[in-house]
Amino acid sequence: MPYWNAKPSPMPNIGAKYGRKATWIGASGDQTFLRIDEALINSHVLATSEIFASKHIIGLVPSSVSEPPPFKCLLINKMDGSCRTFNDSEQEDLQGFGLCLDPVYDVIWRFLPASKEMWCYNAVIADARMPSATDLQARCSILSPELALPSGSHATTTRSHGALHILGNPYVPGTECFESLLSVLHWSWTTLVLGVEELRGLKGFQYTATLLDLERLRFVGTCCLRLLRVYICEIFPIAASTKAVVEESSKLAECVGKTRSLLKKILSEGMDNCLTKLDNDPQGYLSQPLTLLEAVLQECHNTFTACFHSFYPTPALQWACLCDLLNCLDQDIAEANFRTSSSRLLAAVMSALCNTSVKLTSILPIAYDGEVLLRSLVKQVSTENDSALAHRFPLLVAHMEKLSHVGFHLCHSVLVPLDLVLSKSFLN
């Protein structure tokens, strides 16, 4: 009976032409063991690989599907000849794609001719702690192709492009910081709204170029809002046990007031001025820019909610804010003015009031019998809570009360029927 494993024959994928040389052969039972020295670069690898290159690097990606590739990607440094292979499970499979090394931005572009799709691979993103894919798309990463800075000692860029990246580096909170962020936020939002309007009449390259500019404005706006949120929560922390990073001042309190006014303006404007029919829009020419506006509005909602304790630092101010908004919403309904402005701002306020740190019993006079009891109850609760908050941030409380015209006329603002609050906000 012939021995099936004793017949000599060439072993597959081993030999000089494959770049693999057997330096030791052994056997145990019916198993054969080999020690192989493999050359990463040889004529066979070169003949069965796609080659791409830049001024400093040569890259190889195996293209043969008939045999197992020795690596997924091989990069060669043209200066010193050093090589590095990428073959682990986290390495992207680039086989079957058109590849190009970008000489300006130091990234790899991958192109699939069949679907005409392109991907961008950045080595920095691979090593960075990045958020999830959903968050990354929403935040519009500064490492994305639209926003990335060119690399190299002689690289050039525009002032506005560089300014985008400066926004990603928070510095010590101060009045100058607030003033700058508020100015940039106001400009970016106003320009974004106007740009969306202008985009309606554009097509082709002009549409694409303008949409890219609006994408950058979206990034600027959302970045400013996140920085404002961080600064305010660090200067006026909501938790009594958290120490403020800097001592409060009248100037900082004024900045918080300006921030509240601007955020209310953005939420109140919403997308009312940009509403348009999307029925006949198969290419998404109208829905794409509206998505950019929605992203800024959502970030504004998050910032307003997180900073609500600073915008309205006492129960009396929070009650007055809620009543005013409900009055505005009721007036819009009465006038058949079905806008989203009041509802967006009201949604932010209600979201803030749902925070676990807020005691609704100290804000809403739920148990009352008659107008006199309502006056006395709210005044008593407000006085007790206001004294504690005023002791912690007296300058902030004083300034916000001044802005909201709360003080002697406080009782008039809390006479808004509680039924209106419950019917429109809590029972629905």
With beta carbons less than 8 A apart as the criterion, state whether 59 and 70 touch. Answer: no
Q: Which amino acid is at 379?
A: K
Predicted local confidence at residue 222, as pLDDT: 92
With beta carbons less than 8 A apart as the criterion, state whether 195 and 289 touch. Answer: yes
Nearest-angstrom CA–CA distance, 410 and 319: 10
Output the DSSP codes for 117-149.
EEEEE-HHHHHS----HHHHHHHT-TTSTTTPP
Q: Is the dihedral of CA 382, 388, 391, 393 positive or negative?
A: negative
Across 3-82, the runs of DSSP E, i.e. the strands, are 20-28, 31-38, 49-53, 57-62, 73-77
HSE value, Cβ hemisphere, 13 Å, CA-based, for 272 = 14
Collect the ranges in the chain with pLDDT lower than 50: 136-138, 276-280, 367-370, 372-374, 376-378, 380-387, 406-417, 425-428
By CB atoms closer than 10 A (0-12, 13-18, 19+), residue 47 is exposed
Element holding 121 (H helix, E strand): strand 117-121
Q: Which amino acid is at 38?
A: E
- If one counts every other C-beta atom within 10 angstroms of the C-beta of residue 336, the result is 6
With beta carbons less than 8 A apart as the criterion, state whether 349 and 322 touch. Answer: yes
The set of residues, in sequence order, having a beta carbon less than 8 Å from that of 173 and lying 6+ positions away, is 231, 234, 235, 245, 246, 252
pLDDT digits (tens, 9 = 90+) for 111-123: 988 888 888 887 7
The structure tokens listed for 332 are 């819009």
Output the DSSP codes for 246-278.
S---HHHHHHHHHHHHHHHHHHHHTTGGG----
Output the DSSP codes for 203-252.
-HHHHHHHHHHHHHHHHHHHHHHHHHHHHHHHHS-SSTTSPPSS---HHH
Predicted local confidence at residue 338, as pLDDT: 53
The structure tokens listed for 338 are 């079905």
- If one counts every other C-beta atom within 10 angstroms of the C-beta of residue 39, the result is 14
Nearest to 168 by CA among 137, 139, 200, 204: 139
Predicted local confidence at residue 306, as pLDDT: 94
Q: pTM to 2 decimals?
A: 0.65
The structure tokens listed for 185 are 């936020």
Q: Is the dihedral of CA 378, 380, 383, 384 positive or negative?
A: negative
Nearest to 167 by CA among 209, 204, 205, 221: 221
What SS3 state is found at 173?
A: coil
pLDDT digits (tens, 9 = 90+) for 361-418: 677 655 444 454 445 444 544 444 444 556 788 999 999 988 876 433 443 444 444 5
Q: Which amino acid is at 371?
A: E
3-state helix, strand and coil shares in percent for the chain, rounded to the nearest 5: 50, 10, 40
Nearest-angstrom CA–CA distance, 156 and 387: 56
The structure tokens listed for 284 are 């998404």
Nearest-angstrom CA–CA distance, 333 and 343: 11
Predicted local confidence at residue 47, as pLDDT: 83
- If one counts every other C-beta atom within 10 angstroms of the C-beta of residue 387, the result is 11
The residue assigned the tokens 């682990």 is: 88
- If one counts every other C-beta atom within 10 angstroms of the C-beta of residue 176, the result is 11
- Alpha helices (runs of H) in 307-393, residue ranges in sequence order: 308-311, 315-334, 341-353, 371-392
What SS3 state is found at 118?
A: strand
What SS3 state is found at 42?
A: coil
Predicted local confidence at residue 175, as pLDDT: 86
